[in-house]
């Protein structure tokens, strides 16, 4: 079997899908994307296409090594995201070729269903609590909220009180059974992260995500050692090498590789195995589309130290494949049943991709402080 063609689809709201075709008629789908840099990643995929055309799609690890190491310069979000989407599509082909799900080829499933968490927002404590109640009524037993932005490097007591009031309102409304994670999104300085974590501790957050930017592991470790709340991070780290220092120093308890950025399904499985050595968990990052989710579910099914799975919680259910997949994913009682179909277990509606095509020019939002200077998003 040989790869014969690779086609890209820019799809609303901000996704990039890849279709790899073979001479045996088997096709595979992946999601190579950097949010706000879709056109750049598409160019990288086209460059890698020159190597892949004519190759055997079943040699996934070999191709990964060649794509990652072969151009001398390694890593970074653009190259590794391009590789990630290609790798997903190759696993999809391999699973269809052998008529089994990807997780069967990675050791078999460790669980029958995948625990999901939903995003929850609100401008006021009352609104936040009401939205949390709705998530519980929908069957979720875990949600994630965020801190308001922008956050000053040293913000006011009022800011801390406002953020704490939202968490307190959720706890008062839904009690102790719901897990509540809090995303700092790298927008909080280390000093403010320590203050916020101290204020949040009485309300028992599930984890704090990206309490600071990921470049300085020692700073992340200092935050982790200042609180009892588990620290999660990794959506902006690439390959197992990007996670090495944070795990070795035990700066994070929960790794969050994004399967569209970190190197794909098997690379994320290797990262999970690294975390397992330090008794850590994996909660894959996923703010993207249904192919990304399908890839995550394959990893979640076969990974013993899996904790919980993110999805964007879109009102239109596009992230679950509504309108894009012939059989969209369904969340019941906060879980998705492990898919049983071959490969990624999905069938793409190509007509819908063409109907919802866009130029690929979605850009990342930007925030500014009152004095006009740039604020971390």
285 given a catalytic annotation: yes
Residues 205-216: b if buried by 16+ CB within 10 A, e if exposed: bbbbbbbbbbee
Alpha-carbon span 176 to 180, nearest angstrom: 10
- 3-class SS at 101? strand
Please tell me the distance from the alpha carbon of residue 368 to that of residue 157, in angstroms, as a whole number: 20
Instruction: Name the catalytic one among 63, 185, 311, 330.
Output: 185
Angle at 234 between CA 231 and CA 236, to 5 degrees: 135
Quote the tokens at residue 323. 């309108």
Phi, psi torsion values for 354, nearest 5 degrees: -70, -40
Query: Which residue in the block uniquely carries the two structure tokens 């006021």?
Result: 124
User: Distance between CA atoms of 37 and 303, rounded to whole angstroms?
Assistant: 30
**In a 10 Å sphere around its CB, with 0-12 CB exposed, 13-18 middle and 19+ buried, how is residue 61 labelled?**
exposed
Q: Please state, in angstroms and rounded to a whole number, the distance separating the CA atoms of residues 36 and 363.
A: 4
What is the chain's percent helix, strand, coil content, to nearest 5? 40, 15, 45
Q: What are the CA-CA distances from residue 175 to residues 132, 202, 224 (Å)?
A: 11, 13, 26
- What are the beta bridge partners of residue 212? none
Cis preceding linkage at 266, omega within 30 = no
DSSP 348: B
Q: Is 119 among the residues known to form the active site? A: no
| Catalytic choice (10, 63, 119, 285) | 285
Rounded to an integer, what distance in angstroms lies between the CA atom of residue 234 and that of residue 158?
30
Q: Where are the alpha helices (DSSP H) in 53-156?
A: 60-69, 77-98, 102-105, 125-137
Residue 145 β-bridge partners: 182
**What's the token pair of residue 204?**
């028992």
Catalytic residues: 185, 285
């Amino acid at each position: 079997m040989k790869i014969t063609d690779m086609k890209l689809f820019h799809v609303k709201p901000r996704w990039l899908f890849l279709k790899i075709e073979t001479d045996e008629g088997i096709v595979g789908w992946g999601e190579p994307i950097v949010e706000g840099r879709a056109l750049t990643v598409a160019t990288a995929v086209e460059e890698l296409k020159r190597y892949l055309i004519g190759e055997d799609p079943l040699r996934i690890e070999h191709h990964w090594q060649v794509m990652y190491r072969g151009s001398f310069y390694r890593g970074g979000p653009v190259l590794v995201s391009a590789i990630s989407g290609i790798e997903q599509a190759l696993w999809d082909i391999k699973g269809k070729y052998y008529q089994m799900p990807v997780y069967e080829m990675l050791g078999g499933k460790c669980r029958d269903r995948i625990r999901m968490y939903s995003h929850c927002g609100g401008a006021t404590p009352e609104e936040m609590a009401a939205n949390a109640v709705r998530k519980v009524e929908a069957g979720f037993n875990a949600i994630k909220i965020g801190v308001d932005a922008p956050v000053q490097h040293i913000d006011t007591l009022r800011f801390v009180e406002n953020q704490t009031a939202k968490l307190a309102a959720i706890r008062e409304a839904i009690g102790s059974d719901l897990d509540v994670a809090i995303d700092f999104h790298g927008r909080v300085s280390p000093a403010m992260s320590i203050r916020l974590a101290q204020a949040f501790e009485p309300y028992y957050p599930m984890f704090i995500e990206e309490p600071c930017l990921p470049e300085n592991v020692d700073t992340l470790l200092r935050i982790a050692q200042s609180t009892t709340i588990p620290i999660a991070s990794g959506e902006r780290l690439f390959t197992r090498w990007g996670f090495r220092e944070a795990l070795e120093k035990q700066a994070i308890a929960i790794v969050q590789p994004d399967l569209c950025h970190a190197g794909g399904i098997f690379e994320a499985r290797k990262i999970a195995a690294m975390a397992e050595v330090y008794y850590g968990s994996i909660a894959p990052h996923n703010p993207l589309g249904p192919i990304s989710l399908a890839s995550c579910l394959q990893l979640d099914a076969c990974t013993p130290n899996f904790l919980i799975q993110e999805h964007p919680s879109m009102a239109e259910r596009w992230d679950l494949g509504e309108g894009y997949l012939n059989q969209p994913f369904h969340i019941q009682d906060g879980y998705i049943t492990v898919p049983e179909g071959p490969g990624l277990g999905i069938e793409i509606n190509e007509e819908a991709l063409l109907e919802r095509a866009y130029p690929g020019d979605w850009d990342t939002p930007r925030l500014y402080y009152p004095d006009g200077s740039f604020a971390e998003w």
